[in-house]
Amino acid sequence: MCPIREWFFDFEELNGGLVYMGNDSPCKTAGIGSIKLRNQNGSTRILKDVRYVPQLKKNLISLGALESKGLVVMMRDGILKATSGALVMLKGVRKNNLYYYQGSTVVGTVATATSSNKKDAEATKLWHLRLGHAGERSLQILTKQGLLKEVWSGKPATDYDSLHIFGSIAYYHVTESKLDPRAKKALFMGFSAGVKGYRLWCLESKKTIVSRDVTFDESSMLNKVNPNSSDTSQQVEYTPKQVEFEEAVVIPTTNTTNNSPTEEKESDDEEVPPQEPSQQSVPIAVRRTRRENKKPARFADMVAYALPVVDDGSVGDSAIGEEEDECLEIEIDSGNAHHGVVGEVLVADEESGDWIEFEVSVVEFGGEVGEEAGGDGEHREVLEIGVVIEAVAGDVARVVRPLPPHNADAGEAVTGEDLRQFVESRANHDVVVAGVADICHAYQVLKRGGLKDENIVVFMYDDIANNEENPRRGIIVNSPHGEDVYNGVSKDYVGEHVTVDNFFAVLLGNKTAVKGGSGKVVDSGPNDHIFIYYSDHGGPGVLGMPTSPYLYANDLINVLKKKHASGTYNSLVFYLEACESGSIFEGLLPEGLNIYATTAANAEESSWGTYCPGDSPSSTPDEYGTCLADLYSVAWMEDSDAHNLRTETLRQQYQLVKKRTAAGNSYYGSHVMQYGDLKQSLDTLYMYMGTNPANDNLTLLSDNFLWPSSKAVNQRDADLLHFWHKFSKAPEGSTRKFESQQQLAEAMTHRTHVDNNIKLIGKLLFGIERGPKVLNNIRPAGEPLVDDWNCLKLLVRKFETYCGSLSQYGMKHMRSIANICNAGVNVQQMAEASSQACTSFPSNPWSSLHRGFSA
């Protein structure tokens, strides 16, 4: 009841009606309507069916009326709360034995919105989810007692991702003929005693299988029935997956020491569900279709970009300008000469008509060929570039590559030195590198390739070499017995100068926008080729930075588009190492920008660290308590160290890195992806990284067996592995053991805090049943993570305002927050749900007060 008429809206006058007070005196009711209230946390509530009683002196809210609306009223310690589920609808404070509402009224016409009633069972369940989790002391006790896996095996567990749901669907790898399926469906039954492997029940053969190479599908159960469906027949849920077929034909070799599954001979009395009908196998194309023969514009003026500069004035800019629009034409004497046969060819300038006779060995029609020049049988030298045959008419093939300076008469030999001087005089080779420890190795690869420091820009936080926990001060290695990759690194932007704004300013060549550092930028031109290597923590749609805020995918793509619009590069290659790194380009990077990008993982999975403690094959020194390298990064770097980059192409390196990073398609690996203009993958690595002269005589290997298999660790568990290694190596009762135990407990507490709060926010916004489905939704392949990137940044900031920093681990929840945006939740609703989920602001090192905001 309320005596103030101005507070009402949707008001309806009444001619009669009385309200009796405590002394049995009647008061006339003049009308009925609604009043809008604003709580102290900014949320708004609407009281309906409020009586307008002018004779009253104070406003009265009936607790019985609130209870009849489905609210739960609690009074404790002088505080009254009216709750609906886990949401606090109204709050009051006791004064003089009366409870006074904490808030204010909102005068004026508003759009009403009421919350739906919750069942008592759902409200009780929601309160249990909010308040029923273990405290910090309980987590410390659990940490001391160990995990179930440790109790079973009696050994410490360093990998927390190997625990799976019993009875879930699993697929084990089959190494049989090429026509058989690569994986078979089974049920996960547990761990096999005495053997490193999973116990599986094969639904097809009705036998127990022990295998180490298993992929789990814990999102669906066998013969799961949809309760919302009217059909009573059994239904099996499935999740669509994006499959990428390799274009190269791989010839399998016999491996007598493979990791094939074995049958375990034992009696099985378990009840087995009925077998599902086998799915029809999809035929796989044995060879790719012939591509459409079109001359790409990007090959019109192709020069090797990331090469050493030779200060040779023999070829001036004027001579280059005269020849840059010309191309080579090859005429093959034999019609079959372009199928791996050495034939006699004629090379001519289209305009002058001067012909030069030499031999050519065509490696692959429509792909790369190696040329061998000769004149009069006296001088023979392999030209140091690849040739791409783009169109063939009869026996004449057009080679889309610029001519060297035309200083030879008909019949005179064209040597590799002539062409090398022509290319190197055109190169500017700006290279941008951003990330963490692996960039030191990347820098050494480029330096050995002949690049100068003035053409390399290095971003690094530089907190590893002289860290007190580094067992070899001033030295950084990223392989067990590798050399010091930190020595001689030219660092341009370190510490607080490693920011998103500086990275974008350097990439755009904007010297005035750079703050701090060396001031070096990518001052490139229209004929230049750029190589970017970025390595850091990541999450869906976001890349980590040593300083806040983080780098978001849409901002990076917009900068790349601006760079292309400025016409300041010919082609650009982007290597990206991060968890869910595929989401940075998925559905965002268009074709036509002359950009080719590869990522360490797809848009849904984590990347992996390698050369970790306890890894026997790699013999990682025991003094290191962390993984030395990232699997994707070390794969392309060690491949570049061991091959001739003058002949190896981006596509060939992509195939080798993809195979190694997948770790035999096991759980301990990721799927390397490629995006952008895929035809650009025919370029040689020499154009972007240079080449080490010591590797000129090396041959490209089709199988990447140069490096032994190494145990991989999920990047998000790398800190837990480090803390556990410190704890296990520290002496009993020492300060270091106590500190490492505290660090491990804080890390686990933070993970629990972030995971539980994200789940609770989803249930507060969408309900107990619908909340998890919304948070875990994955968009189809080819679509971006979120429709409104500004909404994602605002919601992330609201979450971190009430709940603390997401941190490197919490970045994996970016997809959940993006799904909240896609569901239409606004900033005010997110703030309200976050304030209810996070009742206390964290003050540990993961607080946003210490780390800043991610957006």
- 61 and 169 in a single domain? The answer is no
User: Is residue 289 situated within a structural domain?
Assistant: no
Residue 172, pLDDT above cutoff 60: yes
User: Is residue 286 situated within a structural domain?
Assistant: no
Confidence tier at 796 by pLDDT (50, 70, 90)? very high
What is residue 529's predicted lDDT score, i.e. its pLDDT? 92
- 758 and 670 in a single domain? The answer is no
Confidence tier at 152 by pLDDT (50, 70, 90)? low
Distance CA 578, CA 538 (A): 5
Q: What share of the chain is helix, strand, coil (3-state, %, to 5)?
A: 30, 20, 50
- 387 and 459 in a single domain? The answer is no
Q: Which two tokens stand for residue 59?
A: 């406003």
What is residue 223's predicted lDDT score, i.e. its pLDDT? 58
Question: What share of the chain in percent tops pLDDT 70?
Answer: 63
DSSP bridge pairs for 684:
649
**Rg of the Cα atoms in the chain:** 33
User: Is residue 295 situated within a structural domain?
Assistant: no
For the annotated catalytic residues, the residue numbers are 537, 579
**Which has more pLDDT, 10 or 825?**
825
Confidence tier at 714 by pLDDT (50, 70, 90)? confident
- 145 and 198 in a single domain? The answer is no
CATH code of residue 827: 1.10.132.130
Phi-psi domain of 435 (left: phi exceeds 0; alpha: psi -120 through 50; beta: other): left
What is residue 791's predicted lDDT score, i.e. its pLDDT? 95
Q: What is the mean pLDDT of residues 4-24?
A: 83
What are the distances in angstroms from CA 614 to CA 191, 242, 626, 651, 757? Answer: 21, 34, 10, 34, 34
- 500 and 409 in a single domain? The answer is no
What residue numbers bound the domain in which 350 lies?
310-424
Which amino acid does the sequence have at 457?
Answer: V
Q: What is the mean pLDDT of residues 770-775?
A: 93
Distance CA 449, CA 306 (A): 8
CA nearest neighbour of 673 among 663, 685, 664, 662: 662
**Which has more pLDDT, 583 or 733?**
583
User: Is residue 274 situated within a structural domain?
Assistant: no
Confidence tier at 812 by pLDDT (50, 70, 90)? very high
Q: Which two tokens stand for residue 156?
A: 């410490």
What is residue 753's predicted lDDT score, i.e. its pLDDT? 87
Q: Which two tokens stand for residue 53?
A: 């009683």
User: Is residue 437 situated within a structural domain?
Assistant: yes
CA nearest neighbour of 661 among 782, 553, 755, 576: 576
Q: What phi, psi does 125 have (nearest 5°)? A: -65, -40
What is residue 528's predicted lDDT score, i.e. its pLDDT? 92
Give just the sign of the alpha carbon dihedral 709, 715, 717, 721: positive
Mean of per-residue pLDDT scores for the chain:
73
Question: What share of the chain in percent tops pLDDT 90?
Answer: 25
Strand (E) or helix (H) holding 319:
helix 317-323
- 156 and 178 in a single domain? The answer is no
Q: What is the mean pLDDT of residues 721-740?
A: 84
Number of domains in the chain: 6
- Mean pLDDT lowest among 202-216, 244-258, 580-594, 722-736: 244-258
Confidence tier at 539 by pLDDT (50, 70, 90)? very high
- Give the CA angle between residues 843, 847, 851 to the nearest 5°: 135
Strand (E) or helix (H) holding 273:
none
Report whether 852 contacts 548 (CB < 8 A).
yes
- 350 and 398 in a single domain? The answer is yes
Q: What is the pLDDT of residues 430-481, one digit of tens each?
A: 444 444 568 899 999 998 888 888 889 999 888 888 887 888 888 888 888 7
Distance CA 478, CA 261 (A): 33
- Mean pLDDT lowest among 89-103, 169-183, 218-232, 250-264: 250-264
What b/e string do you get for 554-579 counting C-beta neighbours within 10 Å, with b at 16 or more?
bbbbebbeebbeeebbbbbbbbbbbb
User: Is residue 526 situated within a structural domain?
Assistant: yes
Report whether 425 contacts 320 (CB < 8 A).
yes
Distance CA 331, CA 318 (A): 29
**Which has more pLDDT, 229 or 812?**
812
What are the distances in angstroms from CA 82 to CA 91, 99, 404? Answer: 6, 12, 83
Q: What is the mean pLDDT of residues 62-83?
A: 87
Confidence tier at 823 by pLDDT (50, 70, 90)? very high
DSSP bridge pairs for 373:
381
Residue 671, pLDDT above cutoff 80: yes
User: Is residue 765 situated within a structural domain?
Assistant: yes
Report whether 622 contacts 611 (CB < 8 A).
no
What is residue 363's predicted lDDT score, i.e. its pLDDT? 35
**Which has more pLDDT, 364 or 25?**
25
| Residue 624 CB coordination number (10 Å) | 19
What b/e string do you get for 5-34 counting C-beta neighbours within 10 Å, with b at 16 or more?
eebbbeeeeeeeeeeeeeeeeebebbbbbb
Residue 530, pLDDT above cutoff 60: yes
- 574 and 603 in a single domain? The answer is yes
Confidence tier at 609 by pLDDT (50, 70, 90)? confident
CA nearest neighbour of 479 among 629, 704, 270: 629
Q: Which two tokens stand for residue 832?
A: 């309200």
- 331 and 451 in a single domain? The answer is no
Residue 715, pLDDT above cutoff 60: yes
What is residue 293's predicted lDDT score, i.e. its pLDDT? 57
Q: What is the pTM of this model?
A: 0.54
User: Is residue 12 situated within a structural domain?
Assistant: yes
141, 162, 183 — which closes off a domain? 162
What is residue 803's predicted lDDT score, i.e. its pLDDT? 87
- 693 and 552 in a single domain? The answer is yes
- 449 and 347 in a single domain? The answer is no
Q: What is the pLDDT of residues 90-139, one digit of tens each?
A: 889 988 888 888 888 887 544 333 334 444 556 666 666 655 666 677 77
Q: What is the mean pLDDT of residues 491-501?
A: 91
What is residue 600's predicted lDDT score, i.e. its pLDDT? 94
- 169 and 147 in a single domain? The answer is no
Q: What is the mean pLDDT of residues 310-329?
A: 36
